[in-house]
Every structure is written in C-alpha cells, then in structure tokens.
Structure 1
C-alpha cells in the first residue's frame, strides 16, 4: 500500500520536474499502473464534476442533458486511443517504451488537469463574469501544462530527440483520427447489415 501511495505522490514531483521525473519513471520504475489508473479515474471524475457543477456563468452545458456514461467515454476513449496509437507508432519507430510505460507516463502527464480544474469548480462560484479571465487563464494553463508534459513524457519514455518527438506526436494524432474513422465506418457497415437482415426478417414474418 505504501508503494502505491508513493507512486501516486510521485506525480506531484514529476509535473514540476518533468525531465527527471519521466526519466525515473522509465528507468527507476517510480510509477505504477495502479497509480496511473487512479489518476485517469480522477481525471474522469474531475471532468464530470466540472461539466455538472461549474457555475452557470462559465458552464455552457445543459445539466439536464448530460449523460454520465458519455462523459466517461469522452475522457477514457481519447486516452486509450492515444496510448494505442502511441504504442503502435513508436514500436515501428524504435521507441523504447512498452505499452504499460506509455499508459503510466501519459496518465501522470495529465495530473495538472486534475490539480487545477478541480479547485476551479469551487472557485467559479465565487467570482463574477468580469473576473472570468482568472478562471479561463488557469483552465488554459492546465491544458498547456498537460500538453507539455505529454510531449516530454513521450520524448523521455522513447528516448527520442525533440524533432522526432514532435513528428511522432503529429503521427499519433493522425493515427487516432484514422482509428476513429475506421471505428465509425465499421459501426456504420454493421448497422446497415443489421438493418438489411431486419428488413428481411420483417418480410418473412409478414408473409407467414
């Protein structure tokens, strides 16, 4: 249990000293899959709470129309696609990171999204629209911070140069888009096949 909490606390060290942090994460195994899953779940919870409980001045969402399952998918699916595309492409490009290490590094890199956006939910109820710049500033900072950590994490985990890392990240984003397109295409084909057989079934039933 102490090992788990130590690996979870290590995320706070990593986000402030990313190069050393990701190096130790990769070489010294300072992180753990359990902590990575906890961070990912924490991000999902933060996202749901933000969508539902942020003050109406800064929340364009209709709370009555929010679907919890869909909100979970909106976070979990991009994360999973990132890890899969990352592993597929870096395996071909001589990357040193395993799939497990990619999941851990990616999850740890997302820590600022929790650390900043969770308090912003409460803060949003105590500021007015004129002070909204404060809210949006820190919201943007959380995204930029996480993005930089993902960049550094990919570079250190796979032992790439900065130039190669930027190229790989662009390729990963393209790969994610292709996977989504293929998934939608397969879903559409399955629906059409199902619809075709359903129509045949109805014809048979009516004729009988």
Structure 2
C-alpha cells in the first residue's frame, strides 16, 4: 500500500486518467507528497536560476533572490487552488480543497522531471542546438498543463469542455483576487499615512 502511495505521482505522469482516478476514488493520493513535489520544484527553480548554462541564463546573479523564486511558485500554486475551489463550489464540482491541492501538486511533477536534465544539458549544447533546450522546457509546461487538465476533470467529474471553462474562469478569479489584494494593500497604506499625518499635526501643534 505504501509503495502505491509513493509511485502514484509517477503513475500520474504516464497514465493520468488512471492515476487521478486512484487518487480520488481509491484514496491513494497524499497531500504530503504533493507538498514534497512543490518543495522540490522550488529548489529546482532556484538552481535553474543560478546554474543554467550561461548561453541560456538571462538572470543577473547579483539580483537573484531565492525568496522571490519561492513566491513566484508557491503563491500562484495556492492562489490557483483557492480560486479553483471557490469557483467549483458554485459550479457543482465534486473536488474537495484537499483533492485540488493534491492533484495540482502531482500535476507539476513533469517540471521537475524535465527541468533537471535540461539544466545539465544547457552546459554542453551550443547556441545552435538551443532549440532542443527550449523544446523540452516547453514540452514540460505543456505536459504539466495536460496533467492539471486531467486532474481537474477527474476530481470534479466535469466534461472536457466544462473543465476548460472552469480552468479559464479560475485564471480570471486569480486575477480578481490579486487585484483586490493590491487594492486592500493600497488602502491600508493610505489609512496608515492618514493617521501618521494626524499624529504629526498633533505633535506639531502641541
């Protein structure tokens, strides 16, 4: 049983329909494993930012910040899951929030599987051979998007068209949440500035 739990993410890679079905209905998916995959994705992305071959690395080492790499992966991950759950609750989706987290975590595994070899490959190929580097990285993104599509369709029991619609709406909801978050942050700053101004006036006239 434990072996099945550990091998399920790799089963999802090659047989996503069966893998996500087992995750939801056979209860073989584990949120802990999804978090571990997310953790390794962050580590791989940090390594890529620093150690991809100089021909393909457009990052300035002086400005690299591991915290930013963490934010650019973890925050969108949880924002996607929260937005998808909020939306599918209203659209008769059968997926629980825990299942959305788990399926999304399993779906990003191709990024790790492909990014590590291409990071190593980037040190040995020429600029003329760079098409292979970009092709494999793009294929990893498409692969992960396909797994995410199958995962969302399976756990919510949607049709393919409904899955596409809800995924598109999820992206829109993510944008709305980001907008509201920035708006709230701006209002808090203005309120803080207002009270600071009042405080300075009181101090000045006292």
TM-score range, shorter chain: over 0.9
Deviations 1:42-67 (CA, angstroms, capped at 9, x unpaired) = 11111111112111211111121112
Instruction: Structure 1: state its 5+ residue gaps.
Output: none
Instruction: From 20, 23, 41, give the equivalent of 1:22.
Output: 20
Compare 46-55 and 173-182 and name the one that shifted more. 46-55
Distance in 1, Cα, partners of 2:195 & 2:120: 52
Distance in 2, Cα, partners of 1:118 & 1:100: 28
Q: Structure 1 length normalisation: TM-score? A: 0.95
1:6 Cα offset (Å)? 4.3
Instruction: Structure 2: state its 5+ residue gaps.
Output: none
Instruction: From 102, 105, 113, give the equivalent of 1:104.
Output: 102
SS in 2 for 1:57: coil
* Number of residue-to-residue matches in the alignment: 206
Distance in 2, Cα, partners of 1:179 & 1:8: 34
Partner of 1:201: 199
Partner of 1:95: 93
User: Structure 1 residue runs of 4+, over 6 Å off?
Assistant: none
Distance in 2, Cα, partners of 1:11 & 1:63: 33
Q: How does 1:27-176 map to 2 (within 5 A)?
A: 27-176=25-174
Distance in 2, Cα, partners of 1:116 & 1:206: 62
Distance in 1, Cα, partners of 2:73 & 2:166: 22
Distance in 2, Cα, partners of 1:128 & 1:19: 38
1:9 Cα offset (Å)? 2.6
